[in-house]
Amino acid sequence: MWRSVAILWVALAAGCSLFPEKIDETANWSAQRLYTEAKELMSDGSYEQAIKLYEKLEAKFPYGRYAQQAQIEVAYAYYRQGDRAQALAACDRFIRLHPNHPNVDYIYYLRGLVDFNEDLGLLSSVSRQDMTERDPKGLRDSFDSLKELVTRYPDSKYVPDAVLRMSYLVNSMAANEVHVARYYLRRGAYLAAANRAQYAVSTYQESPSIEEALYILVRAYDALGLTDLRDDADRVMRKNYPDSDFIAHGFQDGRDDPWWKLW
Q: Which of 113-117, 141-145, 174-178, 247-251 has the lowest mean pLDDT?
A: 247-251
Q: What is the dihedral of CA 88, 94, 100, 104, to 10 degrees?
A: -50
The answer, as to whether pTM is greater than 0.95, is: no
Alpha helices in the chain (DSSP H): 2-18, 31-43, 47-60, 65-81, 84-97, 104-116, 122-126, 136-152, 159-186, 190-203, 210-224, 227-240, 245-249
Rg (CA), the chain: 28
CA separation for the pair 194, 232 (Å, rounded)? 13
Confidence at residue 29, expressed as pLDDT on a 0 to 100 scale? 86
Confidence at residue 216, expressed as pLDDT on a 0 to 100 scale? 95
CB 115 within 8 A of CB 141: yes
- Phi and psi at 184, nearest 5°, equal -65, -40
> Quick one: DSSP state of residue 131?
G
Residue 245 has pLDDT above 80, yes or no: yes
Determine the average pLDDT of the residues in 244-259.
62
Q: Identify residue 41 by its one-letter amino acid code.
A: L
CB 69 within 8 A of CB 98: no
Determine the average pLDDT of the residues in 193-205.
94
Determine the average pLDDT of the residues in 54-81.
92
CATH of 31-98, one of 3.40.50.720, 1.10.132.10, 1.25.40.10, 3.30.1360.120: 1.25.40.10
Residue 1 has pLDDT above 70, yes or no: no
CB 146 within 8 A of CB 170: no
